[in-house]
């Protein structure tokens, strides 16, 4: 993770649309998989995925091994290894590329080996701190019975330091380099002109010059963000002066730039700047070119008093239906115009969405249509959802039910229909079951009747299911259990959504420990997995994890993988639940036999 932009730059222009100043520079997944020599017993090990306990990473700055100069090294104590990355420029940012084919810079078959820090010594050698422990996890993350029968502090008086040097280097004492005491505190990267320009942007005051920079670096989102940060009261003028080459071909980055600068200009409300912005509408009037939907989104809050602009916007809006209905229209164009429907009344939008969601359309278009549904009140869209449910596929059905259960009124109606047998109770995810059981009155009583009430004695539930941890389950059947209960929040292999903690790290976990995590998920958890409920001014109640937040908005990740950016002005109330998204009471949905199957699937047996 690289902090590309100084935090102060994000605050410089509150209308620049910047929500974070960092990005992941090492691609997650297969490209950053780690390869230990031996899988050991620990509660947190990502040997099927990426690093899970990277700690004390460092940059090599010594003279003994020039081929390693400025490489980044990442110790991972759970895997008994140290991973090596080569750092290269990537626009104004950086890119980290793994070095090694199915191997690591350092790895050990000693399961007590726990590398936790990396540094360059004054002699130019690499020094790796190895705390040497039997167990790397805190005892609170293990079942109580396991802790009672194991010494969780084995190795607390041990430790060692690895010195890494080229073969043939003397091991007698230090050999300080000539640059001793003069080593840079930061890695010296190869020539990086984009980065130099990026850091210079806040000092530039000439509007033509800034527009030229955006045009020349059109597909670098960080350049656009820095220009926006430095362009308060001038975002419309800059957008107006972008070169024709910027508007020639589509790119998602350029669309974001147009949308952000247009919205920022309206928020700044500087008359001449807004006037310059609106002249863009006169480029090929009446033609809904690829960049105009982004512009129209940015102009969504255009104030009264701009009649000519409003007339042109209406003319462009009138073409949306034809574009969406035309299967030969470019997918990028069809996707670009869907958000524009959010400004229309539901009666006009309903037939368009019904056509999209009942016909054979690209997956991306279906996803965009569901996202648009969220913009309208649940009570308004409920009749369409009930019309769609009988023929909806599994993924669409899950999304539609989530929309109904996000609102107390429509959720109660759905539960009443389930009570009558119209729909199966399995459609409702476990988090919503738990949420609606917490209150009082008709909703809580009905939720308890439909889904069963969780036993408050979680330790007793875990004990009752311990036999499942000792049985040899059927992994294929366990995959089906995972697909019906766990996929809304967790990813395992190619199944599921990245909302809660990934499950690639559980293969070496004791079955009893994994069982405890499933049935008593809130006994102990990290603060970053704490769930929140958000009530919006339009009557919705959303539950999820806050993935990012600024003074203006939050980004909420919800079950099923959906993410929504919610402005703080649209939030009526927001509360921390002091628990994870995963509720207590899964025993109501999983029999002991199914639990044995699920454990077999998760543990790879």
What's the average model confidence in pLDDT over 361-375?
A: 91
Q: Which residues fall within 8 angstroms of residue 312, CB to CB, at 6 or more apart?
A: 281, 282, 285, 286
Model confidence pLDDT, tens digit, residues 388-405: 998 888 778 888 998 999
427: Cα separation from own chain's centroid: 25
Percent of the chain exceeding pLDDT 70 equals: 90
The pLDDT value given to residue 180: 45
Given a cut of 60, whether residue 416 has pLDDT beyond it is yes
Looking at the DSSP bridge assignments, the partners of residue 87 are 96
pTM of the entire structure?
0.67
What's the average model confidence in pLDDT over 245-260?
A: 93
Looking at the DSSP bridge assignments, the partners of residue 115 are 130
Looking from the CA of 201 toward its CB, the CA atoms found within 13 Å total 27
What's the average model confidence in pLDDT over 149-173?
A: 86
97: Cα separation from own chain's centroid: 21
Q: What domains are there in the chain, each with its CATH number? A: 33-164 (no CATH), 191-343 (no CATH), 345-427 (no CATH), 458-526+583-602 (no CATH), 531-576 (2.30.30.100)
The pLDDT value given to residue 528: 66
CA dihedral 404, 407, 409, 414 (to 10 degrees): 20
- Give the mean pLDDT of the chain: 86
What's the average model confidence in pLDDT over 403-412?
A: 92
Model confidence pLDDT, tens digit, residues 463-515: 888 888 888 899 899 888 888 778 777 877 777 777 777 676 666 677 887 88
Model confidence pLDDT, tens digit, residues 73-127: 999 998 899 999 999 999 999 999 999 888 999 999 998 999 999 999 999 999 9
- Dihedral angle sign, alpha carbons of residues 513, 516, 518, 521: negative
The pLDDT value given to residue 515: 85
The pLDDT value given to residue 131: 94
Residue 527 or residue 596, greater confidence:
596
């Amino acid at each position: 993770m690289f902090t590309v932009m100084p935090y102060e730059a994000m605050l410089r222009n509150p209308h620049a649309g910047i929500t974070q100043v960092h990005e992941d520079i090492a691609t997650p997944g297969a490209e950053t998989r780690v390869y230990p020599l031996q899988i050991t017993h620990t509660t947190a090990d990502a040997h099927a995925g990426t690093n899970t306990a990277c700690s004390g990473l460092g940059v090599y700055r010594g003279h003994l091994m020039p081929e390693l100069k400025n490489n980044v090294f990442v110790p991972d104590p759970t895997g008994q290894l140290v991973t090596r990355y080569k750092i290269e420029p990537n626009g104004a940012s950086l890119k980290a590329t793994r070095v090694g084919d199915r191997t690591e810079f350092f790895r050990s078959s000693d399961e007590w080996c726990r590398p936790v820090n990396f540094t360059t010594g004054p002699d130019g050698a690499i020094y790796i701190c190895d705390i040497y422990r039997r167990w790397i996890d805190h005892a609170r993350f293990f079942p109580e019975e396991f802790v009672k029968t194991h010494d969780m502090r084995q190795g607390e008086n041990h430790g060692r330091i690895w010195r890494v040097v080229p073969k043939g280097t003397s091991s007698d004492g230090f050999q300080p380099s000539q640059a001793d005491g003069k080593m840079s505190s930061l890695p010296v990267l190869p020539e990086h002109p984009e980065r130099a320009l990026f850091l210079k942007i806040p000092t530039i005051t000439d509007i033509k010059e800034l527009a030229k920079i955006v045009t020349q670096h059109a597909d670098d989102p960080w350049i656009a963000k820095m220009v926006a940060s430095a362009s308060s009261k001038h975002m419309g003028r800059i957008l107006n002066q972008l070169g024709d080459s910027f508007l020639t071909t589509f790119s998602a980055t350029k669309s974001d730039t147009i949308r952000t600068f247009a919205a920022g200009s309206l928020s700044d409300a500087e008359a001449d700047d807004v006037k310059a912005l609106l002249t863009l509408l006169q480029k090929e009037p009446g033609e809904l070119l690829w960049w105009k939907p982004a512009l129209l989104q940015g102009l969504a809050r255009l104030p009264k008093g701009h009649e000519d602009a409003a007339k042109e916007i209406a003319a462009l809006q009138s073409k949306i239906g034809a574009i969406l209905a035309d299967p030969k229209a470019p997918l990028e164009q069809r996707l670009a115009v869907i958000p524009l429907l959010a400004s229309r009344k539901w009666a006009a939008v309903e037939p368009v969405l019904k056509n999209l969601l009942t016909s054979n359309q690209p997956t991306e278009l279906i996803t965009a249509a569901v996202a648009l549904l969220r913009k309208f009140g649940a009570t308004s869209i409920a009749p369409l959802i009930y019309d769609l449910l009988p023929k909806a596929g599994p993924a669409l059905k899950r999304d539609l039910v989530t929309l109904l259960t996000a609102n107390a009124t429509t959720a109660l109606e759905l539960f009443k229909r389930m009570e009558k047998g119209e729909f199966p109770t399995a459609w409702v995810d476990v988090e919503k079951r738990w949420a609606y059981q917490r209150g009082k009155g008709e909703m809580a009583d009905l939720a308890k009747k439909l889904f069963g009430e969780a036993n408050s004695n979680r330790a007793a539930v875990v004990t009752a299911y311990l036999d499942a941890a000792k049985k040899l389950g059927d992994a294929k059947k366990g995959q089906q259990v995972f697909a019906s209960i766990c996929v809304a929040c967790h990813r395992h292999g190619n199944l599921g959504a990245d909302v809660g903690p990934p499950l690639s790290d559980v293969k070496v976990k004791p079955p009893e420990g994994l069982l405890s995590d499933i049935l008593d998920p809130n006994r102990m958890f990290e603060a970053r997995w704490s769930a929140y409920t958000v009530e919006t001014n339009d009557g919705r109640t959303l539950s999820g994890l806050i993935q990012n937040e600024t003074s203006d908005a939050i980004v909420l990740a919800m079950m099923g993988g959906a993410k929504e950016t919610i402005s703080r002005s649209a939030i009526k109330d927001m509360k921390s639940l002091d628990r994870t998204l995963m509720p207590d009471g899964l025993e109501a949905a999983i029999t002991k036999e199914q639990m044995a199957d699920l454990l077999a699937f998760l543990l790879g047996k």
